[in-house]
Amino acid sequence: MKKQIKKIAFLTSGGDAPGMNAVIRAIVRSCVYNKIVPVAIHKGYDGLINGSFEEMNARSVKGIINKGGTIIKTARSTEFRTKSGRKKAYNSLVENSIDALIVVGGDGTFNGAYIFNKEFKIPVIGIPATIDNDIFGTSHTIGYDTALNTVVEAIDKIRDTASSHNRLFFVEVMGRDAGHIALNSGVAAGAEEILIPEENLGLKRLIKSLKRSKNTGKSSSIVVVAEGDKTGKNVFELKDYVEKHLPEYEVRVSVLGHIQRGGSPSCFDRVLASRMGVGAVDSLLKNKSKAMVGIKNNKISLTPLIDAVKGKSKINSELLKISDIMSI
């Protein structure tokens, strides 16, 4: 017979993402609705190890749905990667009478949760929150839509100055291992070229494309570069390379950086976070565990944690074709 769940703890881990506060709100109020005590763990897995717990109620999460970041803080924990650290974390849960755990974050967060569940059998559910959208088992992660809107707005402004000065801009966006932000924002912002980790388009093709743009009368250009692009050069080396081979171009670099993680979450991310938070609590109450809540075909679904960790999200090949067509 399964143990009745009376207390659910939750934490945010890894890089922050817009919408984390919205999912915290959804978890807390879903727990209260189901007469379960919600317990916030501050500072991710480090807080789990050190017992940084706080019981919450429905009023604890008022006025946060529109806020970026995470009110319970997030951190990357080195100690949780050790067996002794995870044993401390388990002891903290036992001491606080926690029956189940919800972890909000990316693949590193889920990997830790999977190992933790395997060792100590604590019921655990993951919620994907990362701007990179690089998690297998869901079409969208919390924070991705907001980050896209932030990037497109920034590129639109960069294009204003690029066209005023007849310049070529390399715009670097986040995405060390996945090019979802670069590809989608590049198409939306009308970039001439998009460089992503999944496709090594090569430097010769880049030069050829920029020459073609110049020859067809384009006076300014935007190239969106994911930070994990496979050309073998960072964005500043790309600038030097183009200036060497195309001296007629005046080249500038803009690295958007952590601005992509901040800001008020979009309507889409607020709704997604609310759906996933409620879905996580409902799943635990149905004795589901070792799974990640995701969204597929606009429906909440569960993916085994191990699949979410080991699986690879796929880039939209249709958008690659669209990008080529739109850049002529």
Q: What is the pLDDT of residues 217-260, one digit of tens each?
A: 676 688 999 987 766 678 888 888 888 888 888 889 999 999 99
Taking the C-alpha atoms of residue 316 and residue 151, their distance in angstroms, rounded to an integer, is 18
Q: Does 270 lie in the same domain as 124? A: yes
Q: Which range, of 7-11, 104-108, 205-209, averages the lowest pLDDT?
A: 205-209
Half-sphere exposure for 192 (CA within 13 Å, toward CB)? 26
Q: Does 137 lie in the same domain as 252? A: no
Q: Does 270 lie in the same domain as 128? A: yes
Report the number of distinct structural domains present in the chain: 2
Dump pLDDT digits (tens) for 270-293: 999 999 999 999 999 999 999 999
User: Would residue 132 show up in a list of annotated catalytic residues for this protein?
Assistant: yes
Tell me the residue length of the chain. 328
Q: Does 210 lie in the same domain as 89? A: no
Q: Does 138 lie in the same domain as 269? A: yes
290 φ/ψ sector (left φ>0, alpha ψ -120 to 50, else beta) = left
Contact 313, 178 (CB under 8 A): yes
pLDDT attached to residue 230: 67
CATH of the domain at 136: 3.40.50.450
pLDDT attached to residue 1: 42
Q: 261, 284, 300 — which closes off a domain?
A: 261
In a domain, 321, yes or no: no
pLDDT attached to residue 232: 67
Q: Which range, of 26-40, 68-82, 103-117, 214-228, averages the lowest pLDDT?
A: 214-228
Q: Which range, of 9-13, 21-25, 159-163, 305-309, averages the lowest pLDDT?
A: 159-163
Range of the domain at 235: 144-261
Taking the C-alpha atoms of residue 76 and residue 230, their distance in angstroms, rounded to an integer, is 26
Q: Which range, of 10-24, 51-65, 118-132, 172-186, averages the lowest pLDDT?
A: 172-186
Which SS3 state, helix, strand or coil, does residue 169 take?
A: strand
Q: How far is CA 71 from the centre of its chain?
A: 17
Q: Does 138 lie in the same domain as 11? A: yes
In a domain, 319, yes or no: no
Nearest to 222 by CA among 204, 237, 233, 235: 235
Taking the C-alpha atoms of residue 42 and residue 64, their distance in angstroms, rounded to an integer, is 16
Q: Does 278 lie in the same domain as 256? A: no
Q: Does 155 lie in the same domain as 129? A: no
In a domain, 315, yes or no: no
Q: 204, 232, 261 — which closes off a domain?
A: 261
More confident residue, 227 or 328: 227
Dump pLDDT digits (tens) for 13-49: 989 999 999 999 999 999 999 999 999 999 999 999 9
Contact 20, 143 (CB under 8 A): yes
Taking the C-alpha atoms of residue 292 and residue 110, their distance in angstroms, rounded to an integer, is 8
Taking the C-alpha atoms of residue 276 and residue 94, their distance in angstroms, rounded to an integer, is 26
- Contacts within 8 Å (CB) and 24+ apart, 77-85: 77/13, 77/44, 77/45, 77/46, 77/49, 77/112, 79/45, 79/46, 79/49, 80/45, 80/46, 80/48, 80/49, 80/112, 80/116, 81/112, 83/119, 85/45, 85/49
Taking the C-alpha atoms of residue 177 and residue 312, their distance in angstroms, rounded to an integer, is 10
Q: 203, 234, 261 — which closes off a domain?
A: 261
- Stated as kind and residue range, the H or E segment containing 311 is none
CATH of the domain at 213: 3.40.50.460
Taking the C-alpha atoms of residue 300 and residue 194, their distance in angstroms, rounded to an integer, is 31
In a domain, 326, yes or no: no
In a domain, 101, yes or no: yes
In a domain, 316, yes or no: no
Q: State the average pLDDT over residues 132-148.
A: 96
* 86-to-118, 134, 292 alpha-carbon distances in Å: 11, 26, 20
Q: Which two tokens stand for residue 173?
A: 């966006």
Q: Does 129 lie in the same domain as 20? A: yes
In a domain, 1, yes or no: no
List beta partners, residue 255: 172
In a domain, 282, yes or no: yes
Q: Does 271 lie in the same domain as 163? A: no
Q: Spell out the alpha helix ranges (H) of the chain.
A: 20-33, 44-50, 83-95, 107-120, 144-165, 180-189, 203-215, 235-245, 267-285, 305-310, 317-326
Percent of the chain whose pLDDT exceeds 90:
69
Q: Does 196 lie in the same domain as 274? A: no
Taking the C-alpha atoms of residue 217 and residue 105, their distance in angstroms, rounded to an integer, is 45
Q: Does 204 lie in the same domain as 57? A: no
pLDDT at 76 over 90: no
Residue tagged active-site, from 46, 107, 132, 229: 132
